[in-house]
Copies of this chain bind each other. A is one copy, B any other.
């Protein structure tokens, strides 16, 4: 099962991961990563904007690519847009597979691609001032691991 969603409101990852897991009974294992807005360095809020015609189709293509590359039974990608506060989930990626390593690698693969090969733009608010976050060199070297 491929389940990809853009969410505009705060969400509880467990409410999605439970049904996703139950959709694949006897599966072996599920690896899940949940990324949250960090509270460090005085960050007051984070905003993610996207470009609707490209963002969701891009995530769907990414999930399909990961599912076939890692021989998954299912993949779920949930991604927030809009303004988020520290502690709120930004992204939740789950992979269900017969084999543990495949599930890990698929989630790692999807996260690296969401970071620097998907259509999201991020800015942070500190001391009342919004600043755009530029992609980091680290993100691109993470991505190159999968070539």
Contacts and interface: CB of A to CB of B under 8 A. Distances in A.
A36 B27 contact: yes
Given A32-B32, A33-B103, A18 B12 contact: yes
26 contacts: A12-B18, A17-B17, A21-B34, A25-B39, A25-B87, A26-B37, A26-B38, A26-B39, A26-B86, A27-B36, A27-B38, A28-B35, A28-B36, A29-B33, A29-B34, A29-B35, A30-B33, A30-B34, A30-B36, A31-B32, A32-B32, A32-B33, A33-B100, A40-B98, A100-B111, A104-B104
Nearest to A19: B14
A108 B98 contact: no
Contacts of A87: 25-26
Contacts of A26: 36-40, 86-87
Interface of A: 12-14, 17-18, 21, 25-40, 86-87, 98, 100, 103-104, 107-108, 111
A42 to B, nearest CB: 11
Q: Is the interface of A mostly helix, strand, loop or mixed?
A: mixed
- Of listed A33, A37, A40, A98, residue having the most chain B CB within 10 A: A33
A33 B104 contact: yes
Contacts of A37: 26
